[in-house]
């Protein structure tokens, strides 16, 4: 239990005031508008500019705070960070930044730049969408809108065009490099599933083997009913594959294939399920990466940052 801080005293007195105040003198409050507090972190001090924590951890932090916990932990883009309510700081190793709790109605006074490292402005119009992608003709995975023309595609589909120095396929407008350099987003659901129609296309590519329901294959099938992710390593962190690529890998894996070939952003990749690696063919220099198939429930064991090179994962740990 931490020592009574100013905040705690305030909370106690608010509580006392609430229980001792006669109902007739209590200001009538609309029950549908509960008080909401937003947790912010500085960069590293609040005066240097600040960001809101990702919506996925706001209630986790608030709950720990209201339950008088000393601290709580979150996964912040693959990094384990500890929030201390004593020192009102958020740290990972020697990296420390200031944190603050503000009432939602006072948020505009905090000079907040955005949410979880993504600025408010650059993420405008990037929300999850059911729109089809005009490159792969399926539901957009990690929908990415080109700011200048407004056309929107899957992240890996439009990145393929960018890598091949092709323009926007709809209007031939330029693709800004800023979309592809260390992208951070907060509006994408990590748990997004591969669309059904793509899943069907994908399984149609395989011939049904004769020994479908026997041996290892059937036990893998049973196990596969649990949610699994395919992840790859990049610069000391892990990213989930684009769900379409993931679906493709999973299908090959369940068919007991030793390897498979995958096109990622126009590069032909060889995936080896025995060595747990992915590498480019002899014609390109894409380096070998470690890959893994993990149960969704084990994802907290890995420094996972997002999907397909797009960072957005922030989640509660404890």
Cα separation of 83 and 55, whole Å? 16
Q: Are strands 310-311 and 304-307 parallel, antiparallel or unpaired?
A: antiparallel
Which residue in this structure is represented by tokens 């591969």?
Answer: 194
Identify which of residues 168 and 179 has a Cβ nearer to Zn ion in the complex: 168
Identify which of residues 174 and 298 has a Cβ nearer to Zn ion in the complex: 174
Stretch that binds Zn ion, among 50-58, 172-180, 276-284, 301-309 (CB under 5 A): 172-180
Please give the C-alpha separations between residue 166 and each of 89, 170, 250, 300, in angstroms, as whole numbers: 45, 11, 30, 38
Identify which of residues 164 and 208 has a Cβ nearer to Zn ion in the complex: 164
- The answer to the question of residue 72 lying near Zn ion (CB under 5 A) is no
Identify which of residues 44 and 173 has a Cβ nearer to Zn ion in the complex: 173
- Least distance to Zn ion, CB of residue 193, Å: 15
Q: CB-based burial of residue 71 (10 Å sphere; 0-12 exposed, 13-18 middle, 19+ buried)?
A: middle
Stretch that binds Zn ion, among 99-107, 160-168, 228-236, 255-263 (CB under 5 A): 160-168
- The answer to the question of residue 168 lying near Zn ion (CB under 5 A) is yes
- Of 80, 96, 151, 293, the residue at the interface with Zn ion (CB under 5 A) is 151
- Of 56, 115, 142, 157, the residue at the interface with Zn ion (CB under 5 A) is 157
- Least distance to Zn ion, CB of residue 316, Å: 31
Please give the C-alpha separations between residue 201 and each of 50, 84, 198, in angstroms, as whole numbers: 45, 49, 5
Give the burial string for 17-52 (b: 16+ CB within 10 Å, else e): eeeeeeeeeeeeeeeeeeeebbbbbbeeebeeebbb
Count of residues in contact with Zn ion, rule CB under 5 A: 11
Asked if residues 277 and 290 have their Cβ atoms less than 8 Å apart, the reply is yes
- The answer to the question of residue 192 lying near Zn ion (CB under 5 A) is no
Cα separation of 25 and 59, whole Å? 31
Stretch that binds Zn ion, among 88-96, 111-119, 146-154, 271-279 (CB under 5 A): 146-154
- Least distance to Zn ion, CB of residue 119, Å: 22
Q: In 10 A of CB 235, how many CB atoms?
A: 8
- Least distance to Zn ion, CB of residue 153, Å: 5
Stretch that binds Zn ion, among 17-25, 157-165, 175-183, 196-204 (CB under 5 A): 157-165
Please give the C-alpha separations between residue 268 and each of 1, 74, 294, in angstroms, as whole numbers: 55, 36, 23
- The answer to the question of residue 154 lying near Zn ion (CB under 5 A) is yes
Residue ranges that bind Zn ion, judged by CB under 5 A = 133, 135-136, 149, 151, 154, 157, 168, 170-171, 173
């Amino acid at each position: 239990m931490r020592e009574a801080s100013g905040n705690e005293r305030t909370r106690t007195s608010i509580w006392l005031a609430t229980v001792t105040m006669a109902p007739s003198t209590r200001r009538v409050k609309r029950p549908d508008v509960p008080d909401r507090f937003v947790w912010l972190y500085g960069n590293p001090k609040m005066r240097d500019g600040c960001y809101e924590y990702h919506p996925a951890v706001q209630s986790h932090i608030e709950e720990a705070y209201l339950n008088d916990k000393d601290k709580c932990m979150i996964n912040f883009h693959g990094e384990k960070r500890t929030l201390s309510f004593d020192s009102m700081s958020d740290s990972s190793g020697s990296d420390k930044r200031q944190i603050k709790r503000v009432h939602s109605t006072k948020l505009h006074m905090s000079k907040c730049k955005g949410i979880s490292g993504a600025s408010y402005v650059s993420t405008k119009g990037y929300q999850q969408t059911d729109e089809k992608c005009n490159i792969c003709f399926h539901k957009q995975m990690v929908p990415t809108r080109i700011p200048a023309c407004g056309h929107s595609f899957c992240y890996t589909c439009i990145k393929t065009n960018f890598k091949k120095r092709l323009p926007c396929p709809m209007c031939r407008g330029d693709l800004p490099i800023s979309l592809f350099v260390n992208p951070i987003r907060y509006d994408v659901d990590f748990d997004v599933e591969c669309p059904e129609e793509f899943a069907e296309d994908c399984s149609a590519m395989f011939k049904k083997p004769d020994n479908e329901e026997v041996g290892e294959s059937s036990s893998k099938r049973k196990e596969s009913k649990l949610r699994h992710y395919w992840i790859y390593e990049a610069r000391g962190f892990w990213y989930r594959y684009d769900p379409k690529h993931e679906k493709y890998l999973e299908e090959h894996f369940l068919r007991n294939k030793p390897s498979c070939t995958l096109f990622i952003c126009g590069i032909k990749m060889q995936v080896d399920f025995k060595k747990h690696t992915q590498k480019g063919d002899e014609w390109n220099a894409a380096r070998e990466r470690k890959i893994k198939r993990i149960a969704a429930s084990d994802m907290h064991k890995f420094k996972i940052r997002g999907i397909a090179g797009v960072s957005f994962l922030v989640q509660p740990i404890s």
